[in-house]
Structure 1
Amino acid sequence: MTSNKFKAGDLFPVIELPIVNGEKVALGKPHSGADWQMVVVYRGKHCPMCTRYLNEIEKNKAKFLELGISIIAVSADSQEQVNAHMAELTASYPIAYGLTIEQMQQLGLYISNPRSAQETDHVFAEPGLFIINEHGQLQVIDISNGPFVRPELDGLLAGLGFIRNPENNYPIRGTYE
C-alpha cells in the first residue's frame, strides 16, 4: 500500500464526494460563512467511538463557527450505511460518504480491513482530522491508526482560537526541513 503523508502547509487535495442530501461537496472548501474548514475522517457506522465523537463535534459546532471554521465529516461508508447512521447522529454539519481507497491513500490515512462481516463490508479509513486554512493549506494534521486516539475538542478549540487570533501571528507549525 502506498500512502502519501502530508507536510504541514501542503495544499489540501481536491476531493469531491456526495453528502447525505445528495449534493456533491469538495472537502477542504469552507461553507457556512467560514474561511477555514475542519475535515473529520471517521471509520464508519460500525464504530461507536466515531458516533460519539461526531455527536461531540456537533455540541461544539457553534464554537468552531465562531472561530471561522466550518465542519465536514467523511467516511468510506455507502449511501445506505450513512443514511442508517444518521439515526444515531445529531450532526447538522455535512456528512460525506464514499471515500475510496485511493482517496484515503491520497490523504495519508491508515486503512483497515474489517475484522468480520458483522463489523462492516468494506475497508475503511482510521480517524483523521485536518484543519485547512483560508489559503487551502493544511494548518493542523492529526492522523491515527486506531479509533482510540483523536483530538480532544476543548483543547483543539483553545489551540485554534490561539492560532486564529491575529495578535499571535502564529505560523503553521512543523515545517522545518
Structure 2
Amino acid sequence: MSQDYTNKLHAGSTFPTQTVTLKSGKEVALGEPRTGFDWQLIVVYRGKHCPLCTKYLNQLQNYIERLAKIGVDVLAISGDNKEQLVTHASQLNTEFDIAYGMTLEQMKELGLYISDPRSDQETDHPFSEPGLFVVNEQGKIQVIDISNNPFVRPELEALVNGLTWIKDPDNNYPIRGMHR
C-alpha cells in the first residue's frame, strides 16, 4: 500500500515566495502586504462551486476594517480560472483582493489538501481545500490553519480578536507551535 504525504508548512517558517494574479490582471506576491500594512492574511478557498466558501468570504468582508486598523492586509485565492472568478464575483460582497489561478504546484508548496471534483458540474479542475495563513512583517508564518474539507475553518471573530491581541506589543506574544 503506497501512501502520499503532503508537505506541511510550519509556524515560524518563512512563507514561500509565490506570485498570483488578481481579478484586475495585476500580479502580486503572496505574503507581501500592500503599502500601509505590515501583515497579510491569506485565505485559500475551494472555488466558486463551494457555497461555504462564498459565505466565508462574504463574512470576512465584515472584518476588513478591524483588520486594517491593526495593519493586516487580506487576500483570498483559489485555483479557479479568471472566468470562474468573474462569475463568482457576482455572489461576493467583498472589497478585498481576490486572486485566481493557483496552480497545483503552488497548492502543494503551501501544504494544502487537494481534491478532485466529484463531477464536471462541480468544477473542471482539481482544487485546494481551505487554508489560512497569517504572514507577519518578517515574512514568517504567524498563524496557519489547513483543512481537508469545507466544513472546518477558523471562526472569524475569534481569529480577528486573536490577531488584535497578538499584534499588541504589550502582550509580547510569540509564534506558537514551534517546538521541534
User: TM-score band (shorter)?
Assistant: over 0.9
1:148 aligns with 2:148: no
Aligned Cα root-mean-square deviation (Å):
0.9
Amino acid at match of 2:54: T
* Partner Cα distance (2:25, 2:145) in 1: 28
Partner of 1:167: 170
CA deviation vs aligned residue, 1:115-149 (integer Å, no higher than 9, x gap)? 11100000000000000000000000000000000
How far apart, in 2, do the equivalents of 1:124 and 1:33 lie? 32
Q: Secondary structure at the match of 2:158?
A: helix
Q: Deviations over 1:23-64 (max 9, x none)?
A: 011111111511000000000000000000001111110011
- Counterpart secondary structure, 1:81: helix
Q: Secondary structure at the match of 1:162?
A: helix
1:53 maps to a residue whose letter is Y
1:3 CA displacement: 2.6
Which segment is superposed worse, 1-10 or 123-132?
A: 1-10
- Cα distance in 2 for residues equivalent to 1:53 and 1:33: 25
User: Are 2:9 and 1:15 equivalent residues in the alignment?
Assistant: no
Question: Separation in 1 of the partners of 2:65 and 2:35?
Answer: 11
Q: Which residue in 2 is equivalent to 1:100?
A: 103
| CA displacement at 1:4 relative to structure 2 | 1.6
Q: Does 1:134 align with 2:141?
A: no
Letter in 1 for 2:79: A
Could you tell me which residue of structure 1 aligns to residue 51 of structure 2? Answer: 48
Aligned sequence identity (%):
54
The TM-score, its normalising length taken from structure 1, stands at 0.98
Secondary structure of 1:30's match?
Answer: coil
Between the aligned partners of 1:2 and 1:136, the Cα distance in structure 2 is: 25
Shift of 1:2: 5.0
Asked whether 1:36 is paired with 2:39, we answer: yes
Q: Secondary structure at the match of 1:76?
A: coil
In 2, Cα distance between equivalents of 1:79 and 1:144: 24
Alignment gaps of 5+ in structure 2: none
Does 2:83 match 1:87? no
Distance 2:29 2:119 in 1: 32
Q: Does 1:62 align with 2:65?
A: yes
Once the two structures are TM-superposed, the CA of residue 17 in structure 1 deviates from its matched residue by 1.1
Tell me how far apart the structure 2 counterparts of residues 18 and 8 of structure 1 sit (CA, whole Å).
25
Corresponding letter in the other structure for 2:136:
N
* Off by >3 Å, runs of 4+ in structure 1: none
Count of aligned positions: 177
Alignment of 1:5 with 2:39, yes or no, is no
